[in-house]
Amino acid sequence: MEASELTPPSFNQAFRFWLKLGFISFGGPAGQIAIMQTELVDRRRWVSPGQFLHALNYCMLLPGPEAQQLAIYLGWLFHRIPGGIVAGVLFVLPSVFILWGLSYVYVAFGSLPWVAAIFYGLKPAITAIVLVALIRIGGRALRSNVAWSVATLAFISTYFFHLPFPLIIIGAGALGFAYGTFRPGVLNTGHGHAAVTGSGLVLPSQQERQIRGWRGHVPLIAAWVALWFAPTVLAGAWKGWQSTLCQEGIFFSKAAVVTFGGAYAVLPYVAQEALHHGWLGPGQMVDGLGLAETTPGPLIMVLQFVGFLAAWQHPEGLPPLLAATLGAAITTWSTFTPCFLWIFLGAPYIQRLHGHARLTAALTAITAAIVGVILNLAVWFATHVYFPRTGQIDWFAITLSAMALFGLLRWKWNVIPVVIASGVSGVIYQILRGP
């Protein structure tokens, strides 16, 4: 498809598409990217295949949810900053309200027997989903002995020594960069972050931005950094710098910078810190992931559940629902606002990233480390779900998880029906088992 064959959308056309995407973007990042590929490249021809993959490669280099950042990038490509803002906001906005409602049901009625039974059935399915993610990502990422070694070291560092996630990512990146410098090709498998070229939509504004230099971006950086930290500063000035709301803003802003690999990779880091702060318990993190799986939008929306629950349990003089709503809002804001900065600042320079052997090796090593971190998450989930108490084995959970795992891998079951069926199974099992 040549650039001359493309038909760039009007702002209203793009707005309607991004709004629709926000409600149908189920299936995790793979499903969301597939929807955009089908709709924008194949069906509507708003962007060329080369430009689409070029944008996707750049988004995979960044911390945060790559599918949302791809939407921001394409929105920026069509209509500059206003288009990027519309695309990024509408991509997550429906899930913000849906997950808020589900979180309230969880904290208000979670103690009811039927609600508890639903979450009892959800946990084995979520464990299976994490295992599927581990298998699929590992199959793509671990294609050399060095990659396997990096993944193993990452798992040992996380599971046995409890090293922080950012340190593992930085170490893996440094190791990969060193391999790319002194032993090029050892980590380069030809997958994942390979450069993609091709004709595409080139806007005059894009060409102008490419020759302006970094000094011209200072106002952009200042504006978005101010927006990013404004709610945290206001919360600190209002409730105190050690308050739950302020600490949530600080923590999730930090997490937004190190969330390479998406939700599955960052969950152990978030869970570790949330437990440390007393924001929630191990079982509640699994419950939150189950809720996030049932909503559209990026799976990393589970962090909103963590923020909601933390403030609900530590209202600090506020009505619990108000505190929880503010906690959810500051968490979501701190998590997603940086995504716009990464795109608006870096998109004009993505050509310079292609064909960089050392950068490719660093990213390959980071991806391998993420496999080890996800393995730690899978073990963590399985331990709490399959062995809820010392010396006790939950055979129903093991059986339900095995069925979900086999169906997802063998028959490519959709995640949403699996989650719903598992919740229903939990209710039926509790009814049959009796009080």
CA distances from 152 to 16, 235, 258, 268, 380 (A): 45, 41, 20, 16, 16
Vertex 136 angle, CA 98 and 96, to 5°: 10
Greater confidence, 280 or 50?
280
pLDDT of residue 211: 44
Give how far the C-alpha of residue 379 lies from the chain's centroid of Cα atoms, to the nearest Å.
Answer: 20
Q: pLDDT tens digit string along 393-413?
A: 999 999 999 999 999 888 888
Average pLDDT, the chain: 83
Question: Is residue 237 pLDDT above 50, yes or no?
Answer: yes
CA distances from 354 to 62, 260, 340, 359 (A): 14, 19, 21, 9
Report how far residue 333's alpha carbon sits from residue 338's, in angstroms, rounded to the nearest whole number. 9
302 HSE (CA, 13 A, CB side) = 28
Question: Is residue 213 pLDDT above 70, yes or no?
Answer: no
Q: pLDDT tens digit string along 287-311?
A: 887 788 778 888 888 899 999 999 9
Question: Is residue 29 pLDDT above 50, yes or no?
Answer: yes
pLDDT confidence band for 214 (50 / 70 / 90): low
Averaged pLDDT, 247-273: 81
Question: Is residue 222 pLDDT above 50, yes or no?
Answer: yes
Question: Is residue 192 pLDDT above 50, yes or no?
Answer: no
pLDDT of residue 194: 40
pLDDT confidence band for 191 (50 / 70 / 90): very low
pLDDT of residue 230: 96
CA distances from 254 to 179, 249, 304, 343 (A): 28, 9, 15, 18
Count, in order, helices (H) and strands (E) of the chain.
17, 0
Greater confidence, 175 or 187?
175
Report how far residue 331's alpha carbon sits from residue 327's, in angstroms, rounded to the nearest whole number. 6
Q: pLDDT tens digit string along 98-109?
A: 999 989 988 888
DSSP state of 214: G
Question: Is residue 82 pLDDT above 90, yes or no?
Answer: yes
pLDDT of residue 202: 47
Report how far residue 3's alpha carbon sits from residue 6's, in angstroms, rounded to the nearest whole number. 5
Question: Of the segments 25-34, 74-83, 272-281, 282-291, which one has the largest average pLDDT value?
Answer: 74-83
pLDDT confidence band for 198 (50 / 70 / 90): very low
Question: Is residue 206 pLDDT above 50, yes or no?
Answer: no
Q: pLDDT tens digit string along 331-367?
A: 999 999 999 999 998 877 765 555 577 877 887 888 7
Greater confidence, 3 or 388?
388
Please give the single-letter amino acid code of residue 331: T
Q: Quick check: 150 and 367 in contact, CB under 8 A?
A: no
pLDDT confidence band for 148 (50 / 70 / 90): very high
CA distances from 176 to 79, 116, 145, 340 (A): 36, 45, 13, 27
Question: Is residue 223 pLDDT above 60, yes or no?
Answer: yes
Q: What is the pTM of this model?
A: 0.72
Question: Is residue 193 pLDDT above 50, yes or no?
Answer: no
Residue 9 falls in which region: left (phi positive, over 0), alpha (psi -120 to 50) or beta: beta
pLDDT of residue 424: 93
**Percent of the chain scored above 90 by pLDDT?**
37
Both tokens of 281, joined, read 């318990």
CA distances from 127 to 30, 142, 145 (A): 19, 22, 27
pLDDT of residue 94: 92
pLDDT of residue 262: 64
pLDDT confidence band for 205 (50 / 70 / 90): very low
Please give the single-letter amino acid code of residue 260: F
